[in-house]
Structure 1
Amino acid sequence: MSDLAILYEHPDWFRPLFAGLDRRGIAYRAIHADGLIVDPADPAPPAPVVLNRIAMSSFLRAPEHPIFFAQAVMAQWQAAGARVVNGADVLAIDASKARQLALIAGLGLAIPDTRVVHRAADLAAAAAGLRFPIVVKANIGGSGAGIVRYDTPAELAVAVGDGTVPDSIDRVLLVQEHVPVRGGAITRIETLGGRYLYAIDVDGGGGFDLCPADICLAAPGKAAVTVTRADPAPDLIAAAERIAQAAGLDVGGIEVMIDDRDGTARFYDINALSNFVADPLGVLGWDPHERLIDWLADRIAEVRR
């Protein structure tokens, strides 16, 4: 049996990770979600350590996406004794912007003013107490998908009537104030083992697709995204670590923006799938994949004891 199994869906995102594991001589099994058949009565996980690399944006690439399937599989493998990295509980939070915001707010941290509904018919009523412009967001999104801005209540009402508002694969929608971001860039704070790893500022030029990885930046038709190294204030780093630890996040990013209206730092996204930044040596001066592999090697050593 391999020391490590990696469940993934995207055909290109994890090549740097696989190459790094190969260089280090760490035995692993790469398992593509498509074609995976699981016996619920099978007591054996595929490896002592399992790394979940299923992206919420997978529903954009295939209607038969593995988001909910992966939650069941990760829960089964964890119950069978595997050390699952970003397991079923983390996947459940990753797959719900509503749960993410409730977790963050429960820690006493600021979020964008938001309302959650399960019917498009309730969007206008939910937006009534918010400042326009607002955005309607799919509860499960990815790479900016399922987010539309509405500048007036009348514009939102027309979209509801026309049936053109966003939809979510779980039928949960968020209505959220559109926060004017100070300086135009959000900050993504990456964590590993619940601790700060690095941070980047991402400026999408007003767009919603802020994925900073190589494959994302090279996507056809994608608006220009500017990525620079960031050095967040200690209080922001501490807040991101609290969020990661409360979510049980082993590896992933926490996104925050500074509200230009009042200077408030508003946390708004917990992302359990981090592809890390494009050109890490140029942006950071080091490669986060090596830190991740070190951390995985430690987890493998722990389960062998």
Structure 2
Amino acid sequence: MTDLAVLYEHPLWFAPLFAALEKRGIDVAKCSPDGDWNPADLTPPARVVFNRIAMSSFLRSDEHPIFHAMAMLDHWRRAGAHVINGADVLAIDASKARQLSLIASLGLAVPDTRVVHRAADVVEAARTLPFPLVVKANIGGSGAGIVKFDSLDALRAAVADGGLPTSVDGVLLVQDYVPARDGIITRIETLDRRLLYAIEVAGGGAFDLCPADACVVPGSGIGMTAVDPATELSVAAERIADAIDLDVGGVEVMIDDRDGVARFYDINALSNFVARPLDVLGWDPHDRLVDYLVEQIGKAR
């Protein structure tokens, strides 16, 4: 049986991962979520399956694989594969509402939020929050599905005109707009539930930042700097990763400029890592990721 399978749909994002695996001589099966699978066939594609399905996949195809992949990953787990960032993690990744609930349950601060499943409920939910506020799709990607509103009248008009964002699961978040101090958010990447690295990301607004290679384009105005996060932030990120069994992924936090409170707002299980890692970090996190994958393969044999 093959040692490692990687499940992914983006054609370019994982070239650095595959190059790092090839450099180490690791045989890998490249798996697409397309096609079909048999629920009665208990033969997984490999001993270890690495899930790399992106929430932003719905932006690339209306027939996105998010929910299909959840079922398939769960099936492969039942068939005996060790699944990295498995179905339960993907389910958390696919729900900002569940993410915020989990983070808040750990005693960590989040943006004040109301969750609805009907556009008709958005205005009443907004009455309990200050303006400006944002309306978010529960499943987003690369800042997609987020609209800022400065007044209740503007929000009413958007509801009436069909101008709200939409989420592929029909769930919306009505959320306090948090002014990030100095326009900076911190993304803390974890591997095996422990700090891997952290970067500060500045520019592009407080809700459409993306440090991945595919999201950074010339003239985007997005800047990234490697940082040693405050201990309380890295410990909090590790607690979040522990709570959801996140094998590899990022946690995003910003300092609320109004009161200095660190507010955690996003968990991202698709870590295709920072653009230009040697320039930003001075080292390539793919090397440590491959070390981790080799370790998991050894345990699965």
TM-score (norm 1): 0.97
Matches of 2:268 and 2:245 in 1, distance apart? Answer: 12
Report the secondary structure of 2:198's partner residue.
strand
What amino acid sits opposite 1:258 in the alignment? Answer: I
- 1:187-226 mapped onto 2 (5 Å cutoff): 187-206=186-205, 208-218=207-217, 223-226=220-223
- Corresponding residue for 1:133? 132
CA shift for structure 1 position 301: 0.4
- Corresponding residue for 2:108? 109
What amino acid sits opposite 1:290 in the alignment? Answer: D
- The answer on whether the counterparts of 2:44 and 2:81 sit within 8 Å (CA) in structure 1 is yes
- The answer on whether the counterparts of 1:104 and 1:110 sit within 8 Å (CA) in structure 2 is yes
CA shift for structure 1 position 203: 1.2
Matches of 1:110 and 1:247 in 2, distance apart? Answer: 17
Matches of 1:2 and 1:19 in 2, distance apart? Answer: 18
Question: Cα RMSD over matched residues?
Answer: 1.0
- The answer on whether the counterparts of 1:253 and 1:271 sit within 8 Å (CA) in structure 2 is yes
Matches of 1:174 and 1:161 in 2, distance apart? Answer: 18
For structure 1, list consecutive stretches of 5 or more residues without a partner in the other structure: none
CA shift for structure 1 position 241: 0.2
- The answer on whether the counterparts of 1:90 and 1:247 sit within 8 Å (CA) in structure 2 is yes
Structure 1 residue 295 and structure 2 residue 292: aligned?
yes
Match of 1:262 among 259, 264, 274: 259
Structure 1 residue 24 and structure 2 residue 21: aligned?
no
Structure 1 residue 253 and structure 2 residue 250: aligned?
yes
- 1:38-117 mapped onto 2 (5 Å cutoff): 38-117=37-116
What amino acid sits opposite 2:160 in the alignment? Answer: G
- The answer on whether the counterparts of 2:179 and 2:206 sit within 8 Å (CA) in structure 1 is no
Matches of 2:159 and 2:106 in 1, distance apart? Answer: 33
For structure 2, list consecutive stretches of 5 or more residues without a partner in the other structure: none
- The answer on whether the counterparts of 1:217 and 1:225 sit within 8 Å (CA) in structure 2 is yes
TM-score (norm 2): 0.98
Matches of 2:241 and 2:18 in 1, distance apart? Answer: 25
Matches of 1:2 and 1:283 in 2, distance apart? Answer: 34
Instruction: Summarize deviations over 1:254-281 as a string: whole Å, max 9, x none.
Output: 0000000000000000000011001101
CA shift for structure 1 position 83: 0.5
- The answer on whether the counterparts of 1:207 and 1:223 sit within 8 Å (CA) in structure 2 is no
CA shift for structure 1 position 207: 5.7
What amino acid sits opposite 1:235 in the alignment? Answer: E
Q: How many residues align?
A: 301
Instruction: Summarize deviations over 1:206-259 as a string: whole Å, max 9, x none.
Output: 26321112221138xx73211111211001000000001101110000000000
